[in-house]
Amino acid sequence: MTAAKTKLSIRGVTKHYGAVTALADATLELGEGEFLTLLGPSGSGKTTLLMMVAGLVPPSSGEVWIDGKLATYAPPNKRDIGIVFQNYALFPHLTVRENIAFPLQMRRVPSAQIEAEVKRVLEIVQLPHVAGRLPRELSGGQQQRIALARCMVYRPSIILMDEPLGALDRQLRDQMQLEIKELHARLGITVLYVTHDQEEAMAMSDRICLMNNGRIEQIGTPQELYFEPRSVFVAQFLGESNILDATVRQAGVTMTLAGPGGMELRGHGNGGAAGEPVKVIVRPERLRLLGEREAAENVAIGTLRETVFAGGVTRFFVALPNGPVLSAKQLSAGGEKGPRIGDTVRLGWSTEHALVLPERAA
Amino acid sequence: MSDIASAAGRPPLGQSVWVRAWPIYPLLFFVVAVFLYPVAQILILSVFDPSGHLSLANYSRIATTPVYLQTLIITFKIAGWTTLLAMLAGYPVAYLLANSSVRVRDSLTLLVLMPFWTSFLVRTFAWMILLGRNGAVNRLLMSLGITDAPVSFIYNFTGVMIGMVHAMLPLAILTMLSVMQSIDTNLVKAARTLGARGGQSFWRIYFRLSLPGVAAAGLLVFITALGFFITPALLGGRRETMISQVIISVVQELLNFPFAGALSVLLLAAAAIVFYLYDRLLGMSTLSGGASASELAAPGHKSAIGRIGALAGERLIAVLGWLSDRFGDLWDRLFPLRPDRPHPSISRAILWGAGLAIVGFLCLPSLFVIPVSFTSGTFIEFPPQGFSLRWYQTYLGSVGWVNATIRSFIVAGLTAVVSTLLGSAAAFVLVRQRLFGKVAILSLILAPLVLPRLIIAVALFYLYARLGLVGTILGLVLGHTVLAVPYVVITVMAVLKTYDERLDQAAWSLGASKLRTLYHITLPQIRGGVIAGFLFAFITSFDDLTVALFVTGGSTSTLPRQMWNDLLLQVNPTLAAVSTVILVFVTGFVILAEMLRRRASARVS
């Protein structure tokens, strides 16, 4: 990835709307053939960032470089990018063929060549038979693929996708995720993808750029973000987390902490110096219900409040004596085995799965 | 409780649709008796000669008298030019409205609707003040040294155009806006990112998709303009006489109803032909407003005319796109865009400039009646001489004006009450019952909005003449109710459509009777819509000249009728005082109605 040519470089880009800062000092690089996802809740600035790359919203400051050329304030038609919009934005009065031909006509490509190119991309998305139809005569998934084909036909440096699967139902979305991923791998296109769906982001991306409140929280591979979140926000946004308030007793690679009610905890991370308040993050699937004699590096004793059976996994909600409720996720055991509501249970987890993060007002 | 017990064992009586639909019957009866019957009669009358035999004498008289054909040609010419100019001026405003933020759109819409909300006569009078020989515009031109002698803006074609375009612009803008708002803004953005310049993406995508709105607006403006008579009478010269004016003089001077009927048929036929051509070209569905822009734009099956029209249209759009593309290229070569700095959008600045100028044209002129009314001089002039209330004193000291004012209030009040009762009841049935022929019934109730008002007025005059209702308040109220009831039906239906009927069901299940549910649950929720309907009905009556023109006269005049007489005979500052009162009153009223309507639909939804 590092060796690849840089296709997109965003340098210190900021956007203000009056007193509101929609995006603060965003810096980001995208290599050739990379699939990078802007992930975040609504209002986090991800769409603003995408629109500035597209040239549809001018930044207040900063620079945007596309394929080695400065493009900060270049008009969208001079940028060499393609966008797949959330609702596809297929021109309703043009047929599929005319829709795909549109960008080539705008580039004054000879019509014989247009014909061949349209045919080529329709075959790539496996829809050569719909060329004469109008967009509204296509299913959602087909419209999605045509929108993609319309972008690919003129081979832009980057393809931007703005929540392209948002309008599809669950099943079709899963299928289209695979298809887009496969096209990306096969054609080596460079993709900047926007979504608020963390599972979609993790399933598809080479790297994820997680955004919050107009700021980039963390950029990294899905694994990095999941296992080594740099902030409580990242830990909470990706997957589920148990978050415990704690104070550092002894700093170091392995830290000793005072948890809720003085419970002793051990964890790792870049938490901070002794005496500082921190947060300890443990994923539910890392919590184990301990047997009578079983020991663990961290142990919490509490009352089982609720059991939720969800097929393959079962969730246990355990209330600790001093307030917090921990959620544990385990593979379901057959039969009626296991603790019952009201029982006192012991939860255990290892130090390597307890991540200590500095406290930050979110 | 006893209700439930008695109804429990057997299906309740009166559940047939026809019985349940009873609240609509009073209105239906009314519309048939006071609208359908007289209008049909006056039209049918046209094919009889004075002795009562079937004859086409009236039509052959039209065909053989050059004056009538000439009038018809003039009518078409004026309507055509009005349509063209209203389209050209209205499109940029509609575009701005459709593409600005909700807040900007709401306040601009308020301004665009100003002409709708000011009395027609007041508006026309305002143009007379502005454009007359000693009017504000001529004073300005001469003081700037642009002209030496006053320019003739009125009593000619120019005056008629200014007045009519001004009157028709709101309709044109709102009709185009409704289609433009359904255009997905992402489409233009997509076109831009796909490599289209601003011009190409506008012409090939946005303009192309807005065409159904343009066509619908053109149709509505043209057909409405065909029936005009106030503007050409007051702002035009003899050569701008339109067919409606001829009908008026045929009725008022010759009392020749059969011939007036024949001319009415001609006017209707002209409108029908335009409708037919429109339907062939674009299909009627574009008018209903229910279809989205994308559906409208789809090349479905069309007639031969439609296909030729579509093909020519596509070519034209391609040429326009190509031209703007080349112009853009040239511009870029002269003033290359730099990627390292933001660039102001010149086209956007031009658009806003033009749009705001047109909005100013729409909402400012009427305001000129206010300063003029306070003049201490004896003539209408701008700027006014000194300050005095003498013309208000003249107004209030004149028995004729005061009586006309009181009469207008009484008639408008009664009309509003009757319309609200009949219209609201009917609206309930139209929204909530599955009724056979609902579309036909609704069309009949709303027909007075589309049919030239003059034809209704002539028909009512003919009916009233035989019933002895001419000059009576009852006659006026009945006539005005025909015109006003569609507004009540539309507003109340709109509120009811967004009203969740489950609230009523909840009330019934909680033990309330139907009547108590209506009173305690339904009415409080839809009150805003009903009051808005009431106010619109009031204004419709208060502002009506057409029906009053025939049904009143002399001592039984209403305010608009009195104004009309003075405008034709002796324009004086009293008119400005009256206009100011009407302006303040009517505009205040309508803004109140509009606010209530908006709040009502906001709350219910």
Most confident of A28-37, B132-141, B323-332: A28-37
The answer to whether A167 contacts chain B (CB < 8 Å) is no
Asked if residue B137 belongs to a domain, the reply is: yes
Average pLDDT over chain A reads 89
pLDDT for residue B559 is more than 70: yes
pLDDT (0 to 100) of residue B2: 45
Touching A: B residues 109-148, CB under 8 Å: none
Residue B54 lies in a domain: no
Q: List Cα–Cα distances, B53 to A71, A264, B47, B48, B458, in angstroms.
A: 82, 112, 8, 5, 22
Inside any domain, residue B58: no
Q: Is B200 on the interface with A (CB under 8 A)?
A: yes
Nearest to B426 by CA among B28, B35, B34, B31: B28
Residues B282 and B393 in one domain: no
Residue A231: CA count within 13 A, CB half-sphere: 14
pTM over 0.95: no
How confident is the model at residue B297, as a pLDDT? 44
- Which residues of B fall within a CB distance of 8 Å from A55? 192-193
Q: Is residue B347 part of a domain?
A: no
User: How far apart, in whole angstroms, are the C-alpha atoms of residue A167 and residue B495?
Assistant: 30
Which CATH topology does A240-358 take? OB fold (Dihydrolipoamide Acetyltransferase, E2P) (2.40.50)
Task: Considering chain A, tell me which residue range(s) the CATH 3.40.50.300 domain(s) occupy.
Answer: 6-235
Q: Is the pLDDT of residue B232 over 80?
A: yes
pLDDT, tens only, B466-483: 999 998 999 999 999 999
Instruction: Verify that B304 and B185 share a domain, yes or no.
Output: yes
Asked whether the beta carbons of B514 and B505 are under 8 A apart, the reply is no
Q: What is the mean pLDDT of residues B75-84?
A: 95
Q: Using 50, 70 and 90 to split pLDDT, how confident is the model at B113?
A: confident
pLDDT of residue B351: 92
- A54 to chain B, closest Cα gap in Å: 7
Q: What is the pLDDT of residue B301?
A: 46
Average pLDDT for residues B543-566, to the nearest whole number?
88
* A74–chain B nearest CA distance, Å: 5
Q: Distances from the Cα of A3 to the Cαs of A6, A34, A316, in angstroms? A: 9, 12, 46
Q: Containing domain of residue B300, as a range?
A: 64-336
Which of B310, B336, B362 is the endpoint of a domain?
B336
**Measured between beta carbons, which residues in chain B are less than 8 angstroms from residue A144?**
none
Whether the ω angle into residue A229 lies within 30 degrees of 0, i.e. cis, is no
Q: Give residue B15's pLDDT.
A: 64
Exposure string for B126-150, b = 16+ CB within 10 A, e = fewer: bbbbbbbeebbbbbebeeeeeeeeb
CB within 8 Å: A76 and B193: yes
Domain CATH code at residue B516: 1.10.3720.10
The residue in chain A having the minimum alpha-carbon distance to the alpha carbon of residue B292 is A92
Residue A47 amino acid letter: T
Q: Which two tokens stand for residue B487?
A: 């507004």
pLDDT at A260 over 70: yes
- Please say if the pLDDT value at position B382 is more than 90: no
pLDDT of res. B282:
67
Q: Are B368 and B132 in contact (CB under 8 A)?
A: no
Q: Per-residue pLDDT for B299 more than 50?
A: no
Clarify whether residues B316 and B443 are in a common domain: no
Question: Does some domain include residue B313?
Answer: yes
* B347 contacts on A by Cβ (under 8 Å): none
Half-sphere exposure of B468 (CA within 13 A, CB side): 0
Q: Of A159-168, A199-208, A256-265, B12-21, which gets the smallest average pLDDT?
A: B12-21
d(CA B546, CA B458): 9
Q: How far apart are CA B441 and CA B468, in angstroms?
A: 30
- Could you give the number of structural domains in chain B? 2
Q: Does B197 touch chain A (CB under 8 A)?
A: yes
Q: Which residues of A touch B294 (CB under 8 A)?
A: 92-93, 135-136
Cα–Cα dist B317/B331, whole Å:
21
Lowest mean pLDDT among B227-231, B295-299, B493-497, B591-595: B295-299
Residue B193 is nearest to which of A54, A69, A86, comparing CB atoms?
Answer: A54
Inter-residue contact A133 to A142 (CB < 8 Å): no
Query: Which residue did the predictor score with more confidence, B125 or A271?
Result: B125
ipTM of the complex: 0.81
Residue B30 lies in a domain: no
Same domain assignment for residues B322 and B455: no
Query: Angle at which helices B573-604 and B390-397 pack, to 10 degrees?
Result: 80
Task: Output B76 or B18, whichever has higher pLDDT.
Answer: B76
Which residues are A310's β-sheet partners?
A313
Residues B379 and B485 in one domain: yes
- CB contact residues (below 8 A), chain B span 324-343, against chain A: 337-343
Mean pLDDT across the stretch B566-585? 87
Chain A residues within 8 A of B343 when measuring between CB atoms? 73
Q: What percent of chain B has pLDDT over 90?
A: 41
Q: Are residues B332 and B378 in the same domain?
A: no
Predicted confidence at residue B385, as pLDDT, reads 84
Per CB-CB distance under 8 Å, the chain B contacts of A83 are: 189-190, 193
Who's near A79: CB < 8 A, 6+ residues apart?
A: A54, A55, A66, A71, B193
Q: Please check whether residue B183 touches A, CB under 8 A.
A: no
pLDDT tens-digit series, residues B34-65:
999 999 999 999 998 777 788 888 899 888 98
B343 assigned to some structural domain: no
Interchain contact, B192 vs A55, CB within 8 Å: yes
Question: Is the predicted pLDDT of residue B405 greater than 80, yes or no?
Answer: yes
Does B537 map to a domain? yes
Looking at the structure, do residues B92 and B228 belong to the same domain, yes or no?
Answer: yes
B297 part of contact set with chain A, CB < 8 Å: yes
Mean of pLDDT over chain B: 86
Q: Is residue A361 left, alpha or beta, with left meaning phi > 0 and alpha meaning psi from -120 to 50?
A: beta
Q: Is the minimum CB–CB distance between A74 and chain B shorter than 8 Å? A: yes
Q: What's the token pair of residue A129? A: 């038979």
- Name the band, by pLDDT with cuts 50, 70 and 90, for residue B30: very high
Residue range A137-195, pLDDT digits in tens:
999 889 999 999 999 999 998 999 999 988 788 888 888 899 899 989 988 899 999 99
What tens digit of pLDDT does each residue of A58-109 get?
999 999 999 999 999 988 888 889 999 988 999 998 999 999 999 999 998 9
- Residue among A278, A282, A251, A300 at smallest CA distance from A355: A282
pLDDT per residue as tens digits for the range B314-346? 788 888 888 888 888 888 788 877 777 777 778
B287, B311, B336 — which closes off a domain? B336
Does the pLDDT at position B572 exceed 90?
A: no
Could you tell me which chain A residue has the CA closest to the CA of B211?
Answer: A93
Residues B327 and B380 in one domain: no
Q: Which residues 87-106 on chain A approach chain B with CB closer than 8 angstroms?
A: 87, 89, 91-93, 102-103, 106
Q: Residue A163: in which H helix or E strand, if any?
A: none
Give the strands of the sheet with A69-70, arranged side by side.
A20-31, A6-17, A61-66, A69-70
Cβ pairs A/B, distance under 8 A: 95
The average pLDDT across B342-351 equals: 83
Record: contact B193-A150, CB cut-off 8 A:
no
Q: A105-114, B10-19, B270-279, B549-558: which has the minimum mean pLDDT?
A: B10-19
Q: Are A273 and A251 in contact (CB under 8 A)?
A: yes
Nearest residue in chain B measured CA to CA from A158 = B193
Residues of A in contact with B297 (CB under 8 A): 92-93
Where in chain A is CATH 2.40.50.140? 240-358
- Confidence label for A1 from pLDDT (cuts 50, 70 and 90): very low
Nearest-CA neighbor of B219 among B172, B181, B184? B172
Q: Which residues of B touch A13 (CB under 8 A)?
A: none
Same domain, residue pair B376 and B331: no
Q: Are residues B547 and B441 in the same domain?
A: yes
Tens-digit pLDDT profile for residues B162-205? 999 999 999 999 989 988 988 998 999 999 999 888 888 999 99
| Amino acid in position B535 | L
Is the model's pLDDT at B286 over the cut of 70?
no
Determine what percent of chain A is predicted with pLDDT higher than 90: 57
Q: Which residue of A has its CA nearest to B212?
A: A93
pLDDT higher than 60, residue A57 = yes
Q: Is A70 on the interface with B (CB under 8 A)?
A: yes
Check pLDDT > 70 for residue B604.
no
Once rounded to an integer, what is the mean pLDDT over residues B458-468? 93
Which residue pairs, CB below 8 angstroms and at least 24 apart, start in B373-378? B373/B573, B373/B576, B373/B577, B373/B579, B373/B580, B375/B573, B375/B576, B377/B573, B378/B572, B378/B573
Contacts of A157 in chain B (CB under 8 A): none
Q: Which CATH superfamily is domain A6-235 in?
A: P-loop containing nucleotide triphosphate hydrolases (3.40.50.300)
Report the residue from B190, B208, B337 with minimal CB separation from A75. Answer: B337
Burial of A258 (0-12, 13-18, 19+ CB in 10 A): middle
Of B186, B191, B340, the CB nearest to A72: B340
CA distance B421 to B492: 11
Contact list, B194 vs chain A (CB under 8 Å)? 77, 82, 102-103, 106, 150-151, 154
| Domain end marker among B336, B353, B383 | B336
A136 Cβ under 8 Å from any chain B Cβ = yes
Output the pLDDT for position B333.
81
Q: Do B195 and A77 touch (CB under 8 A)?
A: yes
Q: Do B209 and A58 touch (CB under 8 A)?
A: no
Output DSSP code: residue A127.
Answer: -
Q: A62: which residues sit within 8 A by CB, 6+ positions away? A: A10, A11, A12, A13, A14, A25, A26, A72
Chain A, nearest residue to B298 by Cα? A93
